[in-house]
Structure 1
Amino acid sequence: MSTIHRTTMTPTKLELLTDWLPKQSWYVGDAQTPELVRAGGFRLDDPEGAVGIEFMVVVDTSAPEPVAYLVPMAYRGTALSDVPGEALIGTSEHGVLGTRWIYDGVHDPVVRARLRALLRGEAIPQHQNESDTPDPTVTVHGTDDGLDVHINRVLRPTEAAQEPSGRLVAGWTWPDGTAARGVLA
């Protein structure tokens, strides 16, 4: 099970994402420097214990209407080889673990494997901020035995009745405090 360390990261995840997010093809904002707030997410455990896996939802409040983004992230103690340059979100100094290479999870083989395991019902989503605590609000509707997994980068709320099978559904909170749920993958 993953351990959540109560420590500092320099730069923070939000600082790294503020620089990285506007450079992505799926970014729909027009601000060169988005104003990001944490809005939700969850973690998955790496059975080997080597890679930290977090699915973070951030909301960009710089636009007239806030936009929610899903950024799956891999935290590694060493750099990955054979990944495109845009896969690296950045590096950060972790107060306990030292230098962390933070990657966009869609390019990380461990993140992709654990997401497929979750969609097959073989992994348990973990609370984003608590060690060894399952997150029952993250649900899988049906199972997916296929290999093609699509990550929804820009999140849109859906009604519970509209949640299709074979989908990963989780919630986030808008800046005004309104709760939302939608299909993440």
Structure 2
Amino acid sequence: MALLHRATLRPTKLELLTTWLPDRPWYRGPAGVEVVSRGAYRFDDPAGEVGVETILVAAADGPVHQVPLTYRAAPLDDADEWLVGTTDHSALGRRWVYDACADPVYAAALTHAVLSGAGQAEQYFEVDGRREVRPPAMTIDVDGGGDVPEVGAVRRVVDGDDTVIDTDAVELVVVRRPVAGAGEVRGVTLRGSWDGQPTTVPLAYVRTR
């Protein structure tokens, strides 16, 4: 389960993405236009240290883009090129926000979510010592339900129209512009649907070595 905080972020996630996205090789929206969220889902970090969230965003009438993010309390070593920015969280303090495709915590979380069949994490707030569940912002389906290898360091990230994450145990593919009719299946699949996209579409693939 993912614990959320009723907090203020300055700048907000969407403000960070509005500035960062136009320089990405896979971005096809207009520059200088604020992006809006179309949906989001989270995975668990078993250690409880890193926030792992994927946001689907679009600018104006442009296509929907999928942006996995990790939120950290300190910089990630050797990952400056993947830094989206920093934000001040009113409950947790300064947070370093990364394109999660270079973060080993995300690689392990995505692998577990897909291959185990767990899917997205349930999200909740703590209110007066009780858990208040937050309804999911989108629907996630997975093909998995089997063994999950241990995932170590991220060896290489190839950032194209799709982003390929190479690890010692698995190869992960993150679909940056998810649409219906995306073509051939490229591994065990994570699919999703959201407001405005009523049928499920591929979001990511996992291939074991």
TM value normalised by structure 1: 0.83
- Once residues 114 and 26 of structure 1 are traced to their aligned partners in structure 2, the CA distance between those partners, rounded to angstroms, is 23
Match of 1:23 in 2: 23
Q: Which ranges of structure 1 fall in alignment gaps of 5 or more residues? A: none
Paired residues, what number? 174
CA displacement at 1:66 relative to structure 2:
2.8
Match of 2:142 in 1: 140
Deviation by residue 1:48-70 (Cα, 9 ceiling, x = unmatched): 00000001111221xxx431000
CA displacement at 1:71 relative to structure 2:
0.4
Match of 1:3 in 2: 3
CA displacement at 1:2 relative to structure 2:
2.0
Percent identity of paired positions between Structure 1 and Structure 2 = 36
Which protein, 1 or 2, shows the higher relative CO under an 8 Å CA cutoff with sep ≥ 6? 1
Q: Which ranges of structure 2 fall in alignment gaps of 5 or more residues? A: 126-132, 149-168, 205-209
Which SS does the other structure have where 1:154 is aligned? coil
CA displacement at 1:82 relative to structure 2:
1.5
Deviation by residue 1:16-39 (Cα, 9 ceiling, x = unmatched): 00000001011122x221331111
- Once residues 80 and 134 of structure 1 are traced to their aligned partners in structure 2, the CA distance between those partners, rounded to angstroms, is 31
Structure 1 pair 173–59 and aligned structure 2 pair: CA distance change class (3 A): farther
Match of 1:71 in 2: 67
TM value normalised by structure 2: 0.74
- Once residues 117 and 179 of structure 1 are traced to their aligned partners in structure 2, the CA distance between those partners, rounded to angstroms, is 25
Deviation by residue 1:111-163 (Cα, 9 ceiling, x = unmatched): 01110111211644125x6456685931112468661110001111349xx89
**Contact preservation (8 Å) 2:191, 2:202:** yes
Match of 1:184 in 2: 203
One-letter amino acid of the counterpart of residue 118, structure 1: A
- Once residues 184 and 140 of structure 2 are traced to their aligned partners in structure 1, the CA distance between those partners, rounded to angstroms, is 13
- Name the structure with the higher strand share: 2
Q: Does 1:41 align with 2:36?
A: no
Q: Does 1:150 align with 2:173?
A: yes
Match of 2:109 in 1: 114
- Once residues 180 and 62 of structure 2 are traced to their aligned partners in structure 1, the CA distance between those partners, rounded to angstroms, is 12
- Once residues 139 and 34 of structure 1 are traced to their aligned partners in structure 2, the CA distance between those partners, rounded to angstroms, is 31
Structure 1 pair 25–153 and aligned structure 2 pair: CA distance change class (3 A): same
